[in-house]
């Protein structure tokens, strides 16, 4: 059983908006179903939200990726509607200004110790899904694996989409090389 499901950046701009793709749109029903299943099993569910300010184009990321996206408070920043429909009381979200969330990693490590009694993640299964496999999913998976080296960190490839199919596959291979279970 999965103890924690982290749904990475399933926001409108990454699915159907400014940076959306056919691959991202294709995983929405399966991700929504996985959230429902996790909730019914009593699994803790966390969402990450890529979050930028109006000054995005002046940031380092904006210079490398000059496509305004996930600007806080805009429609593109919100969860894709079919994903948002699965949100339930007790599910939390983390706004992150970059690819991986150090705050999420710290809080997951604190949760593992406090709720599960495991400082290194032993006996805990953490699953990640979402977009983009090759940027935010891999970044968060590696941060969590570094914080909790004995946790079983799992990524289901069918519940993720990359910037391109090739980059998706490369990210899955990278995670597998770092002892993340890829299904």
For the stretch 137-140, contacts whose Cβ atoms lie closer than 8 Å and that sit 24 or more positions apart, written own/partner, are 137/8, 137/171, 138/171, 138/174, 138/175, 139/99, 139/100, 140/6, 140/8, 140/48, 140/99, 140/100, 140/101, 140/104, 140/105
Closest CA to 69 of 163, 175, 173: 163
Q: Which fold has domain 4-182?
A: Rossmann fold (3.40.50)
Instruction: Please state, as a whole number, how many other Cβ atoms lie within 10 Å of the Cβ of residue 25.
Output: 14
CB neighbours of residue 94 within 10 Å = 18
pTM to 2 decimals?
Answer: 0.96
Average pLDDT estimate for 139-158: 97
Per-residue pLDDT tens for 58-106?
A: 999 999 999 999 999 999 999 999 999 999 999 999 999 999 999 999 9
Confidence of residue 119 (pLDDT cuts 50, 70, 90): very high
Whole-number pLDDT of residue 87? 95
Domain ranges of the chain: 4-182
Task: Answer positive or negative: Cα dihedral of 103, 105, 109, 112.
Answer: positive
What's the CA gap between 134 and 52, in Å, rounded?
A: 19
Read off the pLDDT band of 177 (50, 70, 90): very high
């Amino acid at each position: 059983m999965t103890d924690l499901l982290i749904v990475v950046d399933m926001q409108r701009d990454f699915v159907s908006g400014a940076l959306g793709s056919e691959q991202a749109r294709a995983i929405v029903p399966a991700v929504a179903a996985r959230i429902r299943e996790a909730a019914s099993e009593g699994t803790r569910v966390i969402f990450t939200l890529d979050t930028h300010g109006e000054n995005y184009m002046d940031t380092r990321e904006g210079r490398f990726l000059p496509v305004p996206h996930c600007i806080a408070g805009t429609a593109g920043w919100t969860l894709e509607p079919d994903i948002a429909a699965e949100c339930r009381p007790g599910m939390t979200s983390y706004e992150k200004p970059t690819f991986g969330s150090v705050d999420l990693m710290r809080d997951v490590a604190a949760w593992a110790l406090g709720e599960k009694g495991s400082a290194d993640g032993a006996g805990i299964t953490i699953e990640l899904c979402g977009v983009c496999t090759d940027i935010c999913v891999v970044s968060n998976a590696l941060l969590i694996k570094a914080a909790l080296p004995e946790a079983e960190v799992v990524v289901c490839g069918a519940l993720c989409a990359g910037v391109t199919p090739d980059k998706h596959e490369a990210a899955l291979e990278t995670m597998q090389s770092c002892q993340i279970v890829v299904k």
